[in-house]
Amino acid sequence: MELTVEQRLEKRLKKQNGLLAVIGVTFWSCPIIVLWGAIYSVKPTLAGLMIPLSAALMALVVRSHGRGLSGSFKALTYQSFLLLVLTAMLFGFAIAGPVHMVVVLVLLLGGIAIAGFMHRKPLNPEEAQLYFRLTAIEESPLAQATINQWFLMLPLGLVGEVISCFIGVVILALLGLYQVH
């Protein structure tokens, strides 16, 4: 028995879970930071490639753990990516040596584009129209579930990722891959 478009979309809406996306972001931020620091300590010239790679990894994490369709999942992807880049830049292992700011900006914008592109599986035109009707016009309870709301996902994601990035930097310091000054 083939599912109708509405049934397929309702099934996808039931599967989305903002808290699982937050847990995924929190869990995977630490290994990504450790990987970034390890790459920088082994081959500093390749560390800049981690900017778009971390965007792709964060998009895949949010996509696989949260299975979200709403904009709050995309905002969580962008937030987590930008926090990873900020952490790497603050601790000095984002990019090696003096690099022109335009190169950093291009890598950052490329990462944002990759994160947006890889964020979710696209909806076909019928599903997109139905999704718009369910979320914007009818305000379906499936689309408005509390665990998928931005005011819960983004602050929890921020706190979890800050803690996870801090643990990642501590691990780098303990392994001797990052020198604390």
pLDDT digits (tens, 9 = 90+) for 20-37: 999 999 999 999 999 999
Q: Which one-letter DSSP state was computed for residue 137?
A: I
Q: Give residue-wise pLDDT tens across range 111-153.
A: 999 998 888 677 788 888 887 777 776 666 766 676 678 888 9
Distance of CA 88 to the CA centre of its chain: 15
The residue extents of the domains of the chain are 7-174
CA–CA distance, 44 with 42 (Å, rounded to integer) = 6
Mean pLDDT score across all residues of the chain: 88
Token pair listed for 97 = 């040596």
Decide: 157 and 22 in contact? Cβ < 8 Å: yes
Q: Which segments of 67-124 does DSSP mark as H helices, in order?
A: 71-90, 101-118
Least confident of 6-15, 129-138, 156-165: 129-138
Closest Cα partner for 117 from 146, 148, 90, 81? 81
Burial (CB count within 10 angstroms: exposed 0-12, middle 13-18, buried 19+), residue 101: exposed
Cα(177)–Cα(173) distance, integer angstroms: 6
